[in-house]
Structure 1
Amino acid sequence: MKTTKRILMLLTVVLALAGCSTLRTASDYDKTADLNSYKTYNFYDKGIARVKLNNLDKRRLMAAVETEMNAKGFTKSEKPDMLVNLVVVAREKTDIYGPAYYGGWGWGWRGGWGSPFWGGPNYVNQYIEGTIIIDFLDPAKKILFWHGQGSGFNLDNFSKREERLNTGVKEILAQYPPNAIAAR
């Protein structure tokens, strides 16, 4: 019986953690901008210098953006139509799970019908949650014309980190161009 309770408790914690691992994305854009006029890109150097990631992750993030931009038909250029600015915002996050559920309605251990009760330890998960922001800037007009972000990225988790960065960037940039989203 104790083993069953422990398995149920562990399953509850795993499901709760799995539910928190998805990236939440959103985007916004300048509705007056002619998005079809942008064909070439490069990174905004001042923005890249301020990205608060280690150099490995910074290169991974830039590579993921390059892969997605190239897949969308953009060409990297020294004199680009648009600049890609990257920002990573981090904050401490604490998730608390528990106490776990034990028992249920039915025959109690002292005899008679009993009610469910709660007990056991709380489980605490502390980590750094990141938000990846990708902005498209028009260098000629000096304006921001598209903003995309994905929040919920666990920056403390090194498991499959490159794969998760690629997936996150892909989910964010799937929202560009905005008209493609409306057509779906």
Structure 2
Amino acid sequence: MKTFQKLLMLFTVVIALAGCSSLRTASDFDKDVDLSSYKTYNFYDKGIAKVKLNNLDKRRLMAAVETQMNAKGFTKSTSPDLLVNLVVVARERTDFYGPGYYGGWGWGGGWGWRGGWGGWGGSTFANQYIEGTIIIDFLDPAKKILFWHGQGSGFNLGSFNKREERLNTGVKEILAQYPTKTMVTK
């Protein structure tokens, strides 16, 4: 029975951690702007300088954005139609898991029902990490306006496990929110 309880606790922790690993994305855009007029892009240098990542991760993030922008048909240019601004916001998080379920049901000694349906107890586990939000903004340098804002929150910045892959996936999920021509209606 002790082995079952330990397995149940481990299963609970794994399920809880898996539920926290997904990126939550959202976006918004100016519906009065003709998005089809934007064909070229580059990075907003002042924004990139302020990104709170180490240079290795900053280059990875920019490469992920370049890959997705190129896949969407944009071309990188020295005189772009749009500027890509990147922001990374980080905060410390602690998630607690447990206590786990224990016990069972059945007849006890003597007369009548004993035991009940079990209960909750056991160890509590804590998971501490740095949660990040990646923000991608599209700016029109001619009009000096923000016309698209996308973000993904829930990125574990403290983990080095498959970090480059997670950055690529995160940027892909955020930029998938960029409206296609069929989504834009006035």
TM-score (norm 2): 0.93
Deviations 1:143-162 (A, max 9, x none): 00000000000001110000
CA gap of 1:94–1:108, structure 2 versus 1, over 3 A, is farther
Q: Distance in 1 between matches of 2:105 and 2:180?
A: 52
> Percent identity of the aligned residues?
78
Q: Which residue number corresponds to residue 20 of structure 2?
A: 20
TM-aligned CA deviation for residue 109 of structure 1: 8.3
- Whether 2:57 is the aligned partner of 1:57: answer yes
Corresponding letter in the other structure for 2:49: A
CA gap of 1:117–1:72, structure 2 versus 1, over 3 A, is same
CA gap of 1:113–1:57, structure 2 versus 1, over 3 A, is same
TM-aligned CA deviation for residue 98 of structure 1: 1.0
Q: Distance in 1 between matches of 2:109 and 2:100?
A: 18
TM-aligned CA deviation for residue 104 of structure 1: 2.3
Structure 2 unaligned segments of length 5 or more: list them. Answer: none
Corresponding letter in the other structure for 1:113: R
Q: Distance in 1 between matches of 2:179 and 2:20?
A: 27
Q: Which residue number corresponds to residue 9 of structure 1?
A: 9
Corresponding letter in the other structure for 2:32: T
Q: Which residue number corresponds to residue 178 of structure 2?
A: 176
Tell me which of 140, 153, 156 is aligned to 1:154.
Answer: 156
CA contact (8 A) 2:36 2:181 kept: no
CA contact (8 A) 1:149 1:172 kept: yes
Q: Which residue number corresponds to residue 114 of structure 1?
A: 115
Q: Superposition pairs for residues 50-129 of structure 1, below 5 Å?
A: 50-108=50-108, 112-115=113-116, 116-129=118-131
- SS of 1:5's equivalent? helix
Greater mean deviation of Cα atoms: 150-159 or 114-123: 114-123
Tell me which of 144, 147, 156 is aligned to 1:145.
Answer: 147
After the TM superposition, which parts of structure 1 deviate over 6 Å for at least 4 consecutive aligned residues? none
CA contact (8 A) 1:21 1:152 kept: yes
Structure 1 unaligned segments of length 5 or more: list them. Answer: none
RMSD over aligned Cα atoms = 1.8
Deviations 1:74-110 (A, max 9, x none): 0000000000000000011110111111012324589
Q: Distance in 2 between matches of 1:60 and 1:96?
A: 31
CA contact (8 A) 2:31 2:184 kept: no
Q: Distance in 1 between matches of 2:174 and 2:121?
A: 41
Q: Distance in 2 between matches of 1:110 and 1:13?
A: 37
Corresponding letter in the other structure for 2:114: W
TM-aligned CA deviation for residue 178 of structure 1: 5.3
TM-aligned CA deviation for residue 179 of structure 1: 5.0
TM-aligned CA deviation for residue 182 of structure 1: 7.4
- SS of 1:62's equivalent? helix
TM-aligned CA deviation for residue 119 of structure 1: 1.5
